[in-house]
Copies of this chain bind each other. A is one copy, B any other.
Amino acid sequence: MSRVTDVLNRQHIELPSWAFANSGTRFKVFPQAGVPRDPYEKVADAAQVHKYTGAAPTVALHIPWDKTDDYADLARFAQEQGVTLGTINSNVFQDNDYMLGSVTNPDAGVRRKATDHLLECIDIMDRTGSRDLKLWFSDGINYPGQDDIRERQDRLAAALAEVYARLGDHQRMLLEYKLFEPAFYATDVPDWGTAYAHTLTLGEKAVVCVDTGHHAPSTNIEFIVAVLLRAGKLGAFDFNSRFYADDDLMVGAADPFQLFRILFEVLRGGGFDRDPGAMDEIAFMLDQCHNIEPKIPGQIRSVMNVQEATAKALLVDREALAAAQAEGDVLGANAVFMDAYNTDVRPLLASLREEKGLDPDPMGAYRRSGYAEKIVAERIGGTQAGWGA
């Protein structure tokens, strides 16, 4: 059991600053009372999640949404709140210039501008001490013939190479893929194969980020996790869940069994054995949209869902599993696997929290804290943060 508790005690999940801001669909962004108005308030809210879970000590920033003149000051503020700044997320999809693409745009000037933004993000990383630069490109085309699919790959490769060259010794590039949206015909990095191929060309510091909501229907995500781990190219997760497209629901909400299977492959591939901060660490991050539910408890619940699925993965009797697999005992092997999944791990996690001096019930503790009411009362005026700021 010490292995189980050891991993659970060490596991940490990075929170995205933007999860605390307003978000929505193309139809409507429903504003929520008390939502942060600047990066400081986002960090403060993120710190609440860590306060009650003890498992979310870092906050990812999104540039330019979290742009600030003084990152040292923001980092200091974070530390006061009990957290630190984490991954830097680039954004090359919201400037008017990017309508037809950023680094793959047919216009060389736009490509230059986009690449410069990515380089600037590394400057920020230098100041925040971040290890990871996460790149997601919304680039793609809506109509057959609109642009040259292959040439866009060349442009992408050129930009990535330039950015890669700028990385410091202890910095990584996480390349994210996504099947579609906002591009509706051909996306330039649509699948793990494309991301893998580019990171392979770039070198060791380039690895793939698996967003669990970015696949075609029926895709076996744990297979991808296993294959990327085997190739040494899995760098990070963006966790969320979906029933349809990139729904960005709370991780574990749509298919908790899938989350368990994914985390079992992480375990199987040695993903929980990496040193914190090491260049081969698997970064576990949330990337969700709390469109209709309150943000902070939505994040707390998500962290707990990852913890529960991890606990179940750790409970798999791997010796028994290997024995049944070796014998070709289909039902026996599946039963060993399901036994772990069917276990109620909530008491185990509650007692681990208590050992750490935390409330065994993070949701209840947050609710009772009065923080939700406090921010609603205090955050009057100003402009609520959203995807645009």
Contacts and interface: CB of A to CB of B under 8 A. Distances in A.
6 contacts: A25-B181, A191-B192, A200-B200, A216-B218, A255-B255, A301-B331
A254 interface: yes
A235 B331 CA distance: 31
Contacts of A257: 144, 255-257
Interface stretch (A43-51, A59-67, A167-175, A238-246): A238-246
A336 interface: yes
B150 A268 contact: yes
A180 to B, nearest CB: 4
Interface stretch (A13-21, A111-119, A226-234): A226-234
Contacts of A301: 331, 335
A118 B299 CA distance: 37
Given A179-B218, A253-B334, 15 more contacts: A26-B26, A27-B93, A142-B291, A143-B253, A143-B331, A144-B257, A145-B321, A146-B333, A148-B268, A150-B229, A150-B265, A153-B230, A180-B247, A184-B243, A255-B255
A330 interface: yes
A373 to B, nearest CB: 15
A202 interface: no
Of the four ranges (under 10, 10 to 19, 20 to 34, 35 or more), the interface on chain A belongs to: 35 or more
Interface stretch (A77-85, A122-130, A338-346): A338-346
A70 to B, nearest CB: 28
Interface of A: 23-28, 30-31, 93-94, 96, 98-100, 106-107, 138, 142-150, 153-154, 179-182, 184-187, 190-194, 196-197, 200, 215-220, 222-224, 226-227, 229-231, 242-245, 247, 249-250, 253-258, 261, 265, 268-269, 291-294, 297-298, 301, 308, 316, 321-322, 325-328, 330-331, 333-338, 341-344, 346, 363, 387
